[in-house]
Amino acid sequence: MSDCVFCKIVAGEIPATVIDSSEHSLAFADISPRQPVHILVIPKSHHANVAELAAADPEALVDLVQLGSRIAAEHTNGSFRFTFNTGADAGQTVFHAHGHITARTPKESGGN
Ligand code: 5GP
Ligand code: ZN
């Protein structure tokens, strides 16, 4: 989608601090972190929210959750949230599916 900010990040058209990627997914630092760890994990293809991603491409959803879990293991002490705001009333502001990995406690060794 040409006017989607996260599609532009996937395309490299706007900058992001990329953390990691996988076949179907990309992870990057949230531009406005609300916790000491705040990383977004998105599918590389456009789906409006996680429910639409699950319906359209379950393999990509599994890939996204696996990438997010790996990142959480690398960047937190093992306690984290992995949340998908779905719909404007739930606080979704970017309508390209994304999970937020947030944690109060970064992993002490191995960088953050
Ligand atoms: P939502 O409220 O839709 O669940 O979350 C959208 C998230 O995307 C917010 O936490 C916001 O800070 C982040 N965000 C919005 N625009 C950009 C951007 O251009 N770059 C990055 N890295 N994060 C963004
Ligand atoms: Zn998009």
CB 82 within 8 Å of CB 72: yes
Residue 49 corresponds to which tokens in the numbers above? Answer: 């929210």
For residue 108, what pLDDT is reported? 81
- pLDDT confidence bin for 110, thresholds 50/70/90: very low
- 98 catalytic, yes or no? yes
List pLDDT tens digits, range 45-97.
999 999 999 999 999 999 999 999 999 999 999 999 999 999 999 999 999 99
Residue 11 has pLDDT above 60, yes or no: yes
Q: Does residue 97's CB lie within 6 angstroms of at least one atom of ligand 1?
A: no
Q: Is there a contact between 70 and 41 (Cβ–Cβ < 8 Å)? A: no
Domain segments of the chain as ranges:
5-103
Q: pLDDT digits over 28-40, tens only?
A: 999 999 999 999 9
List, in order, residues 6 or more apart from 6 with CB less than 8 Å away.
42, 46, 94, 96, 98
Phi, psi for 18 (deg, rounded to 5): -75, 135
Question: Nearest 5°: CA angle at 37, between 19 and 28?
Answer: 25
- The superfamily CATH assigns to domain 5-103 is HIT-like (3.30.428.10)
CA 57 to ligand 1 centroid distance, Å: 22
Q: What is the mean pLDDT of residues 5-33?
A: 98
Residue with token string 């992995």: 82
Torsional class of 12: left (φ above 0), alpha (ψ -120 to 50), beta (otherwise): left
